[in-house]
Every structure is written in structure tokens, then in C-alpha cells.
Amino acid sequence: MPVAESSRRPAASVALRHVTTVLFNDARRRENIYFGVLAVLLLVGFPLLLDTFHLNLVGKYLTYAFVALGLVLCWGYGGILSLGQGVFFGLGGYCMAMFLKLEASDIASTSIQSTPGIPDFMDWNQLTKLPAFWVPFKSLFLTVVAIPLVPSVLALALSAAMFKRRVGGVYFAIITQAVAAILSILIIGQQGYTGGVNGITDLKTLHGWDIRSDSAKMILYFVNAALLLGAIALSFSIIRSKLGRLLLAVRDREERVLFTGYDVANIKTVVFVLAAAFSAVGGAMFTLQVGFMSPSFVGIVPSIEMVICAAVGGRTSLLGAVYGTLIVNYGKTYFSEAFPELWLFVIGALFIAVVMIFPDGLAGLDLRKALHGLLTRASGFARKRKKPAALVPPAAPSAPQTNAGSQ
Amino acid sequence: MHSPLSTKTLSAGLAVVLAATGALLGCSKDSSKGVGETQAATTASAAGGLAVSEKEVVVGQLHSATGTMAISETGSIEAERLAIDQINQAGGLLGKQIKIIQQDGASDWPTFAEKAKLLLEEDHVACVFGCWTSASRKAVLPVFEKDNGLLYYPTFYEGLEQSKNVFYTGQEATQQILAGLDWIHKEKNANTFFLIGSDYIWPRTSNKIARKHIENVLKGSVVGEEYYPLGYTEFGSLINKIKAVKPDVVYAIVVGGSNVSFYKQLKAAGVTAQNQTLLTISVTEDELLGIGGENMVGYYAAMKYFQSLDNDNNKKFVAAFKAKYGPNSVIGDVTQAAYLGPWLYKAAVEKAQSFDVDKVVAASPGIELTTAPEGYVKIHPNHHLWSKLRVGQAQLDGQYKVVYESELIEPNPFPKGYQ
Amino acid sequence: MNAAIWAMQAFTGLSTFCVLLLMALGLAIIFGQMGVINMAHGEFMTVGAYTTYLLSEVSQRWLPGLTNWYFFLSIAVSFLLAGAFGLLVEHLMIRKLYRRPLDTLLATWGLSLIMQQGFRSVFGAREVSAKLPDWLMGSVKPSAAIDIPINGLVVIGLTAALTALVFFALFSTRFGIDVRATMQNRPMASAAGINTARVDRLTFGLGCGLAGVAGAAFTTIGSTGPTSGSAYIVDTFLVVVFGGAQSLFGTIASAFSIAQTQATTEFFMTGSMAKVVTLSAIILILMVRPQGLFALKVRR
């Protein structure tokens, strides 16, 4: 029995190695497989594992992943660090919230106001008429158009001029930060038009569909996950295109790209606008799932927290952005409950560690070797006691952990 | 060069996420346990699926224990705990001990909404004492209305709200503003007012009400109205404007860190109580501690409660509070209002002889509390409290001396003619 | 509107200018000269503020004779404490990141969070108030209608003295020559025998020390709490960037123009809108002229 087994073992091992070589040696195919695994995790794994409450929580985290994804593109690949992504997240969220608020403020439910039919906070601020910039948000179609468009236009206006004048990374970061400060002061100050510091609250239905019910939350989770996967797929196709290679080139040697005759400013602008649009979609999904939008998501602090999500995942890893977001936000929820005083220490240390110790984030961690070692030992142990079948890793997720041929 | 997305990404990411998922699951189980045992929650059903068992009733507490609002909300957390301890020592609610599940809103409004949901849907608490800022209340309100929960909200606020599921134990804007203005108009013969606020909804709404009252009722005039962003620290220009127009009264609703800068700079610019009357509705004893009594001495504050109130209820309350939380504790208006919450709930439950939310709500209007530190309060059908207004004068030691006390004022969250 | 008000308003503009300059001075050295983005700059200011608070407590309790003058002592102690802490941070963290400016930004942001929580754990979340000597909180009355706050005068005097000192240090001492040489061409400076690592360390320490002094000075006009420093950080960076990062003159000019814009707009609109207008104007100008007001032509 032991003899037969040991003679079979190399054969199985070789076969396995062969399969994984084919599957994983090609970087692109490897990415596709990981993407598939993420899709399964988001669309099947989480919904099966988590109850509605926690699924909704994950859904909220995933809206931040849109921002982190945008940051991977413009920071990790393009070298443009924006500390104002909350601006775009917020704008997207506010566009959605304006539509929902108008729907919640029909004449019947606002009859006690001095001007029925406008949002309650406008009535409190003596507005007697819907401001002009709110009017388009009566239409769902225009709202859906505005969600990516408004932030994109702002991003374009901000970035085009600066990139044309070759404003460096540091300056750009500081200016985006100031934009975040301006927008949050503006939203809080103009409360008759924006709802002020409370934000736009008490959102109920989307075209008559109650977004607060459990079934709606479930559906919104799937919509959100699907959109996120779509955004990741789009990002992959961009990175694999010529634009993606140019981006990397710009990040590493801007002058050389410039002297080769490319318009560096345009390349940077495109990717920054794209990141803004992604963030906006995340913001809109946030509003739908959480049920309100407030200026606390626009300011500097949330904007920088989103950078740390991208950094923890690995600043050049699109999929890492998702994992980074999940981990950082889960950590935030967990620590703020269990050890409230520790949370700032932890996230502060995380910032420092991600810069000084593991600059490539999760994507750069070599857990694989450790896991593989662990797995081999475990399977060897299992084989001694049970059937040899235990040798073959059970399911897809552990496939990457078999070490074969990826060097 | 390898592709930047390495093989390692997923294995690492997956492992961590799976671990986190496990933890999330674990956490979801933990959280239903809350602070104490689970049997209360699981053997629920005495009153419409609420966590009420033979021996105990579970209530929730939802404030910011962390983050920027923790400074303000800690007093409320302490006061509610004190009240619940006292009720438990006196035999509890309908013979049941009150058990608290505390959740941290972490100064973050979505977190407030999530935790409210957790308390109502997983822990099935009988009622919740919580929230401080209007923003957090607005965030949890849809949750309470959907799940038919019960919230006792302690902060004085701008009004313009009335929910079946909320009792407001602080004052709404008209209660806090009108009587104070009347007093200063009469007492100081004040006719010109300069309104100042931090730039958000409470100061703006309050100043709007103040302006209407000054112009329409007192027949005075508003000679200036100014707003500064939260956290702003440079008030030089504002102080010059005040000096330029020389109002009879500066009416100030500045909050948070700005407060300290504002009063320090006023004093440094030579504006003191000797040459300028100032009335505020935003500086409780808590804030006065940070500002420093020497920077505010002589100015007036209008609210329903001051720690120095001279009555037996209050003396007992202050003594109990200091015994529990240390002799240096200060008690502001909101802290006292938070203390009322559990007592009002007790009275309503005992009147209804039930924990059922609908019955408790139905029983509440008309309930009187004669043991309140602020004196007598009574629940109005609009879910706010009848209460008095006091004007206090700031002293060097960081306390207020009460110089005026109004009659009992009817709450009016949607004041006609003030909107 | 009378002349007295205008005079006081001019003084307000002047003192806002000094506040901005005081904040920006340390950063102008760290960011402008070294290219390090120190997001924890505000927290170094807070170190100074808490130092002042502690000294005021100490002097009240044990050294009542000092109560009137401890403030000057606290300025010196703040400089030393914040500077020493800066040296430590430079040694442990910053020196490994000189080639990655965006990464220093993230790392120092992390540091700022840790420091904030540290303040909170030690001093409590509540704001504290340093008891300031009475003479400091009064005002001078050159005429019946004019009040000039003494704390404003102190801030102005302090700013003038510090600016002069910084200029002296940078332009008239051996250390200053080393700093400027290192900044302009590190390999050449190193080749010429300048210990650039030491220069970096001292420069960073100096910048942090200046932040500490700013923090001590701000206890006279603002609050002292765990997060009070972070409120200044955006403004401070904008001052330095707007001035043209490598020019100290630029920083002064930029602080002056921002302060005047702010003070003037504040007088004609509410504080919130004034802030929005000022910040937007800065950004628009930077979009057109990204090198700031005074650009120094340096090969990098």
C-alpha cells in the first residue's frame, strides 16, 4: 500500500503541476482566474455566508471599492495621487440622493410645509421654489446620466489645466485636498440647496420601489457587485491596452514619454476622469444602499481613508483594491466596536506600514509560499490517516495555493 | 517585468477576506449577545417580539463613544446609565431589571443607522436612548420608523421634526429662544441684535426664529447675521463688525472648538461683559470648561438646565452624578435631558403596564415628572416636553448663576409665523 | 464705517497674516526646502499647544511667581520638544522616504492619526484651556475707539522675530549654506563634503520646532484639543504651495495675500463664503500658475 501510493504521488503531482502551469503561467489568464474567483466570492460566497445585515454592510464597503479602484488606476498606474476622491464619491451620491429626495417629497407627504412639493430642508430655509439645478433630477434618466457626468466634468476641468502645465504629483495632491475642503464647506454652508451638515436624508423609494426593504437591499447588493465587477473588467481592459502601458510609462519616466511624442497631459486626464466616474458610481450606490448622503463623505478625511484602502490592497492591483477596501473597512467596524481607542493607532500604523514595510500591499505579500507549505504538510498529514484523494485541493479558491510553475 | 498583478494577490487577499468573513460571522453572533446573556433576547415575546423576559428588559444605548462627538456625548451616556442604575436599584421596570446594550455610533452617521438597525432587528431592544447631533438623529429616524422602535433623544435642537417613534427630552428651538430674548429685551432694554452662528442647520434655524421674534414681536432690529464654518478659528473680522454696529445684544450660537477661539478673541479685543451684552444658547457648563470661565464671565446663556439650579431634585442628582463619575464632573443641559429619558420611559411603561412600543407611545402624553433635576416636566402630545427656560450668567469658576426663570413653556416644533 | 474700524480691520488682516505665516514657516522649510510632505505638521503644532497647557498648570500649582511669564518659557520648551520629536521621526521614518514624496504624505498622515489618538489618550478628548496671564489677554487702546489685542501683538512680534531668525539661519550661517546646497543639488553638496543626512535631520527638526512654537502661540487665540492642529493643515499647505514652494519670500507674500483676501472678503460676506471664495481663488491661480507666486529656478 505505501509503495503503490508513493509511486502514484509523483505522477499526480506532475499532472497537477502541468495543469497549474498552463493555467497560471500566463499572467493574463491568471488575472482572469482571480477575477472569476472574486466574482464568485462577491456574487455567491458573501450572499450565502452572510445574513442580510452583514451583507448590507459588505455592500456599503464595496461602494468604497469603486473609489479604491479608481485610485489604483490613477495613482498606482498613473502616478497621480488624488486626496480628493471623496469629492467625486460625494457628487455621485448627491446626484442620486437628489433624485430620491424629490421622489420622497411629493405634494401629499409634504403637505404640512409652507411650500409643499419641495424637499423639507428647502422649506425650512424659506425657499419657495425648487432651485434650477435640482430640476433635472426629477428625471431618473437624467440622474443616471448626471451621476458619472457631473463628477467627470469637474475632474476634467480640474485636471486638464493642471496636467497641461505639468503640475507635479505633490502639488496635485494638495490641490485636490483643498477642493475637498471647499466642497464640504460649500455643501454645509448652502444648506437651503444641499441639506447642509445633515445631508439629504429620509430617502424612501426609487420609482415607487421601496429601497429600505430587505429584498431591495439584497437586489441592490447584487447590482452593486455586478457594477463593481464591470468596473474592474473595464479597468483590466484599459490596463492591457496601449493606454495602460503608456500610463505605466508616464508614471515611471514622464519625460521620455513626452519626448516620444505622446501627449502626457491627455493620458493623465483620461485616467483621472475615469477614476472620478468610478467614484461617482460608488457614491450613487452608497446612497441607494445606506439611504442618505451627507457631507461627511466629501471631506479630506474620508478621501484619504480611501487612499489607504487602495494602498493596503496593493496600489497596482485592481483586485487588491477590493480586498483592501473590505479589510480596512471591516477592521474599522471591528476595532471601533471592540477597541475604540485603538482604532486610530491601528489605521495610523497601517498607513506607515504600507509605506515602509509592504509598499505593494496585500498583492505584494508572499503568503502564498507560507500557505503552500502549510497545505502540503496538512495534506501529507491527512493522507497518512485518510484517503489519498485528500491530496487534490478541494475547490477553486485553493488552486492558486499550489505552488507549481508560477515562477 | 512581471505584470504588476502578481500571483500573490489573490492567495493573500482571499485568505484575509475569508478570515474576515469568518470573523464577521462570529461577530454577528456576538453582537446578538450584546453586553449580557442572550436569554433575554431569545426568550423574548412578552411584548411584540421585544427582548423582555421574566427578569429583565433590554434597552439600547446609541451614542458616539469614539470620534469627534465623543466629548459631547459622553455626558449623555453617563447620565442615562446613572438613571438606569437608580431605576434598577429601586426595583426596576414592572419588576424587571433593565439591561443595557451599548452601541457606538463612532461620530459617523451611517454607523448610527447601522447600529440602530442592529439594536432593533437583532437585539429587539424595548427602547433606545441615544443620538446627540441632528445629523445622527436624521440618519437613524427612518430605521426607527420602519422597525417601529422607540428613541429618547436628549439634545436641544432646531425643531421641525415630530416622529411617532421619538421622544425629544431636550428643548426645541422656540422653547430655548423666545423666552430668553423676551427677558433680555425687557431686562437690558435691548433692541438691536447681532446674530452669530456656526454654519449648520441648528444655528441657522435658531437664528431664523430669533430674527422673526425680534422683528415681529419685540419690534427690534437685527443689525447683523453671520455664519462661520465649523471649526473656524479667526474671528477678528467678525469682532470688528460687532464693534462697528455696536448692537445691544450679541446673540451667539457658535459651537465646538470655534467657541474657544471666539470668546478668547472677544476678550482680547477688549469686548467683555462690561461693555457688551452677549446671550448664547450653545455654551453649556461642558463647553465653558474648555473656554475657560475667565473668558466668558458675565455673559448670559439661555437653556433649561444649569448645574447650579437650586432645588432638592437637582442637589440629589448632582451629588449622585459626582459620586458615580468623580467630583470634577460637570453637568450640562443635555446631560440632564439625557437623565430624564429613562425616567420618562419608566413612567410611560408603568402607565401602559406594557413594553409594547405602541402602548408606551400612547400612554406617554400627559406624563409628568416631578423628580426631574430641572424641576417639573410633562410630555406634550407632540412628543416634546413642557419645560422652563433659565438664563444663567457665566461665573469665573465655570458655573452659571441663574438670573431668570420662565413659566412652563409649551413645546412647538413647527412654530407658525417663525418659518 | 469709521476710521477706527478700518484700523482694527487692518490689524485683523495683519494678525491673520502672522498666524498663517507662523504656521507656514516650519512647513516652508520642511516642504519647500526638503520636499517632504509632512501631514503631521498640525500635530507638531499641537505638541506645542499642549506643552503650553502643561506649563501653565505647573506654574499655577507649584510656581505661582512664574504665572505671568511662563508663556515665554513655554515657547522655548515647545520649540525644543517639538524639534526633538521631529528629529526622532526623521530618524525612524522620514529619512527612508526622501525619494518617495507621495509616500511621505501617506506615512505622515498615519503619524498624525497616531499622534492625535496619543493626545486623546493622554489629555482626554475634551479641549483644554491654558490659563494665560492677564496682561496677555488684554488690549491696548491707542484711542478711545480702537482696541488692539495684545495677544495679536505678541503673535505679530513672535512671527517677525522667528522669520528674521529663519532668514538669518538660512542665509547667513554655515548651516544655512549647507541646507541650501543640499536642497539645490544633493549629490554635489555631498561631494563637496556636506553631511547631507545630518543636514536633512536638522532641517526637519527645525521645521518641527517652528511648528511647536506656532502651536504655543495659538493657545492665545484658539482652542487646544487633540485635533486642533489638523484644522490648520490644508491652509498651511496652500500658503506654501501658493507662494512657490522653494521660496521663503514667496511664503511670506502668499501668507500676506491670502490673509488680506480672507480678511477683506470676510468683511463683506459671511465667513463660510469668504473661505470658499479665498480657497477657490487660490486654486484658480494655481491652475494658471502652478509654480506659485515666486518660483525658484532650480535643477532637480
Residue percentage of chain A with pLDDT more than 70: 83
A37, A53, A313: residue with CB nearest B14: A37
Chain C residues close to A170, C-beta within 8 Å: 35, 37, 101-102, 105
Unique residue bearing C-alpha cell 433649561: B304
State the pLDDT confidence band at A384, using cuts at 50, 70 and 90: low
Q: Do A206 and C290 form a contact (C-beta atoms < 8 A)?
A: no
Determine which of B24-38, C41-55, C233-247 has the lowest per-residue pLDDT on average.
B24-38
Q: Is the pLDDT of residue C93 over 80?
A: yes
The most confident of the ranges A268-282, C136-150, C276-290 is A268-282
Determine which of A57-61, B37-41, C296-300 has the lowest per-residue pLDDT on average.
B37-41
Rounded-to-integer distance, Cα A231 and Cα A237, Å: 10
For A403, list phi and psi in degrees, rounded to 5: -75, -15
Residue A35 included in any domain: no
Q: Is the pLDDT of residue C35 over 90?
A: no
Residue, of B171 and B28, whose pLDDT is higher: B171
Q: Return the CA Rg of chain B.
A: 23
Is B173-303+388-405 in CATH node 3.40.50.2300? yes
pLDDT for A380 equals 60
For C226, list phi and psi in degrees, rounded to 5: -60, -35
Rounded-to-integer distance, Cα B72 and Cα B155, Å: 10
Residues A91 and A172 in one domain: yes
pLDDT for C97 equals 86
> What three-state secondary structure class fits B195?
strand
Domain residue limits, chain C: 14-228
Q: Do B166 and B128 form a contact (C-beta atoms < 8 A)?
A: no
Residues A355 and A381 in one domain: no
Separation in Å, CA C225 to CA A218, B14, B127, C141: 43, 41, 34, 32
Beta bridge partners of B405: B390
Per-residue 3-state assignment (H helix, E strand, C coil) for B371-416: EECCEEEEECCCCEEEECCEEEEECCCCCEEEEEECCCECCCCCCC
Are C106 and A307 in contact (CB < 8 Å)?
A: yes
Mean pLDDT of chain A: 83
Residue A36 included in any domain: no
Q: Is the pLDDT of residue B229 over 90?
A: no
Residue A45 included in any domain: no
> Which H/E stretch holds residue B227?
strand B221-228
Q: Do B125 and B57 form a contact (C-beta atoms < 8 A)?
A: no
State the pLDDT confidence band at C260, using cuts at 50, 70 and 90: confident
Write the pLDDT tens digit of every residue in A48-83.
999 888 898 899 999 999 999 999 999 999 888 999
Residues A341 and A223 in one domain: yes
Q: Is the pLDDT of residue A389 over 60?
A: no
| Interfacial C residues in 222-251 facing B (CB < 8 Å) | 222-225, 227-228, 231
Unique residue bearing C-alpha cell 495621487: A81
- Taking the Cβ of residue B221 and every Cβ of chain A, the question of whether any pair is shorter than 8 Å is answered with no
Q: Is the pLDDT of residue A321 over 60?
A: yes
Residues A55 and A169 in one domain: yes
Q: Do A322 and A69 form a contact (C-beta atoms < 8 A)?
A: yes
Write the pLDDT tens digit of every residue in A20-30.
666 666 778 88
- Measured in angstroms, the CA of A259 and the nearest CA of chain B are apart by 23
Please give the residue range of the domain that contains residue A327: 50-365
- Measured in angstroms, the CA of C7 and the nearest CA of chain B are apart by 10
pLDDT for C298 equals 46
Determine which of B27-31, B143-147, B235-239, B289-293 has the lowest per-residue pLDDT on average.
B27-31
Q: Which residue of C has its CA nearest to A175?
A: C283
- Taking the Cβ of residue A167 and every Cβ of chain C, the question of whether any pair is shorter than 8 Å is answered with yes
If you average pLDDT over residues C208-230, what whole number do you get? 86
Determine which of A299-303, B248-252, B339-343 has the lowest per-residue pLDDT on average.
A299-303
Write the pLDDT tens digit of every residue in B289-328.
888 888 899 999 999 999 999 999 999 999 999 999 999 8
Residues whose CB falls within 8 Å of the CB of residue C50, separated by 6 or more in sequence, listed in order: C119, C123, C128, C215, C224
Picking from B1, B250, B230, the residue whose alpha carbon sits closest to that of residue B133 is B230
Residue A44 included in any domain: no
If you average pLDDT over residues B110-134, what whole number do you get? 91
Write the pLDDT tens digit of every residue in B46-74.
445 788 888 999 999 999 887 777 778 88
Residues A121 and A160 in one domain: yes
Are A371 and B15 in contact (CB < 8 Å)?
A: yes
- Taking the Cβ of residue B142 and every Cβ of chain A, the question of whether any pair is shorter than 8 Å is answered with yes
If you average pLDDT over residues C89-101, what whole number do you get? 87
Are A177 and C237 in contact (CB < 8 Å)?
A: yes
State the pLDDT confidence band at C140, using cuts at 50, 70 and 90: confident
If you average pLDDT over residues B174-196, what whole number do you get? 93
Separation in Å, CA B246 to CA B186, B191, B196, B239, B252: 19, 11, 14, 10, 15
Rounded-to-integer distance, Cα C105 and Cα C100, Å: 9
| Interfacial B residues in 190-229 facing C (CB < 8 Å) | 199, 226-229
Q: Is the pLDDT of residue B5 over 60?
A: no
ipTM for the predicted complex: 0.85
Mean pLDDT of chain C: 85
Separation in Å, CA B156 to CA B50, B171, B175, B282, B332: 29, 5, 9, 9, 11
- Taking the Cβ of residue A154 and every Cβ of chain C, the question of whether any pair is shorter than 8 Å is answered with no
Cα first-last separation, chain B? 67
Cell of C56: 501653565
If you average pLDDT over residues B255-271, what whole number do you get? 86
Residues A307 and A375 in one domain: no
State the pLDDT confidence band at C79, using cuts at 50, 70 and 90: very high
> Please, is C61 exposed, middle or buried when counting C-beta atoms within 10 Å of its C-beta (0-12, 13-18, 19+)?
exposed
If you average pLDDT over residues A386-390, what whole number do you get? 43
Chain A residues close to B414, C-beta within 8 Å: 112
Are B290 and C263 in contact (CB < 8 Å)?
A: no
Rounded-to-integer distance, Cα B52 and Cα C283, Å: 59
For B329, list phi and psi in degrees, rounded to 5: -65, 145
Determine which of B212-221, B354-363, C19-28, C66-75 has the lowest per-residue pLDDT on average.
C66-75
Residue, of C296 and C139, whose pLDDT is higher: C139
The identity of residue B274, as a single letter, is Q
Q: Do C239 and C251 form a contact (C-beta atoms < 8 A)?
A: yes
Residue B23 CA to its chain's centroid (Å):
34
Q: Is the pLDDT of residue A341 over 90?
A: no
Chain B residues close to C231, C-beta within 8 Å: 231, 233, 257
Q: Which of B1, B2, B3, B11 is the best mutation test for A, with the most CBs of A within 10 A?
A: B11
Cα first-last separation, chain A? 34
Residue, of A17 and B285, whose pLDDT is higher: B285
Separation in Å, CA B361 to CA B149, B156, B161, B162, B343: 10, 21, 16, 13, 14
Range list of H helices, C185-270: 186-191, 196-218, 233-243, 248-268
Neighbours of C249 (CB within 10 A): 13
If you average pLDDT over residues A355-384, what whole number do you get? 67
pLDDT for B9 equals 45
Residues A65 and A93 in one domain: yes
CATH 3.40.50.2300 residue ranges of chain B are 47-170+309-387, 173-303+388-405
Cell of C16: 491673520
Q: Do A199 and A257 form a contact (C-beta atoms < 8 A)?
A: no
Residues A16 and A124 in one domain: no
Rounded-to-integer distance, Cα A114 and Cα A195, Å: 17
Separation in Å, CA B100 to CA B53, B151, B335: 14, 14, 18
Rounded-to-integer distance, Cα B214 and Cα B173, Å: 14
Residues whose CB falls within 8 Å of the CB of residue A222, separated by 6 or more in sequence, listed in order: A43, A47
Write the pLDDT tens digit of every residue in C161-194.
999 999 998 889 998 999 888 888 888 888 998 8
> What three-state secondary structure class fits A267?
helix
If you average pLDDT over residues C286-297, what whole number do you get? 72
Residues A7 and A148 in one domain: no
Unique residue bearing C-alpha cell 415607487: A208
Rounded-to-integer distance, Cα B195 and Cα B197, Å: 7
Rounded-to-integer distance, Cα B345 and Cα B355, Å: 10
Q: Which residue of B has its CA nearest to A53?
A: B118
Picking from B62, B182, B45, the residue whose alpha carbon sits closest to that of residue B119 is B62
Is B47-170+309-387 in CATH node 3.40.50.2300? yes
Q: Is the pLDDT of residue B6 over 80?
A: no
Are B236 and C227 in contact (CB < 8 Å)?
A: no
Residues A247 and A376 in one domain: no
Q: Is the pLDDT of residue A395 over 50?
A: no
pLDDT for B44 equals 41
Chain A residues close to C241, C-beta within 8 Å: 171, 174-175
Bridge-based pairing of strands B277-280 and B300-303 is parallel
If you average pLDDT over residues B114-141, what whole number do you get? 91
Mean pLDDT of chain B: 86
Are C147 and B240 in contact (CB < 8 Å)?
A: no
C103-120 burial, b if ≥16 CB within 10 A, otherwise e? bbbbbbbbbbbbbbbbbb
Q: Is the pLDDT of residue C206 over 80?
A: yes
Chain B residues close to A341, C-beta within 8 Å: 66
Rounded-to-integer distance, Cα A19 and Cα C102, Å: 42
pLDDT for A403 equals 37
Rounded-to-integer distance, Cα A169 and Cα C233, Å: 18
Helix A300-313 and helix A85-104: axis angle, to 10°?
Answer: 120
Rounded-to-integer distance, Cα B409 and Cα B395, Å: 26
pLDDT for A287 equals 95
Picking from B226, B227, B212, B221, the residue whose alpha carbon sits closest to that of residue B249 is B221
Provide the whole-model pTM.
0.83
Residue A41 included in any domain: no
Cell of C79: 520649540
Chain A residues close to B110, C-beta within 8 Å: 60, 290, 292
Beta bridge partners of B368: B378
State the pLDDT confidence band at B408, using cuts at 50, 70 and 90: very high
